[in-house]
Amino acid sequence: MIIKAAHLNLQNETVVVVIAPTKYVDNHATADNIISLLERMLFRGMPVVLISRAPGRGWVYYGRQDLMNTLNRDGVPLERMRFQDYSVDIPGA
């Protein structure tokens, strides 16, 4: 599977923002598994936040609570972020 991800400096740490389908962001068990896999295998040592544009809700975030609070308050500067494609094997995705 190819994912799009970008690094963001948030709360004095580098956070990886990953664009994901809404069905993954809304299913917390699936989102937790994806985040765990990405943090272990691809973005070692960096917290991951999943984001998705949900119809009627705008951008939806899932990840560590303090990071989600900041993103919900401040938003994500998507237009300034440099997303890259990454190839990763996510079981069940």
Number of neighbouring beta carbons within 10 Å of residue 10: 17
- For residue 2, the model assigns a pLDDT of 85
pLDDT tens, residue by residue, 9-63: 888 899 999 999 999 899 999 999 999 999 999 999 899 999 998 889 888 889 9
Q: Residue 93 — very low, low, confident or very high, per pLDDT cuts 50/70/90?
A: low
Domain boundary assignment for the chain: 19-87
- For residue 39, the model assigns a pLDDT of 95
Strand order through the sheet with 48-54: 58-62, 48-54, 13-19, 2-10, 84-87
- For residue 9, the model assigns a pLDDT of 87
Does residue 73 register a pLDDT over 90?
no
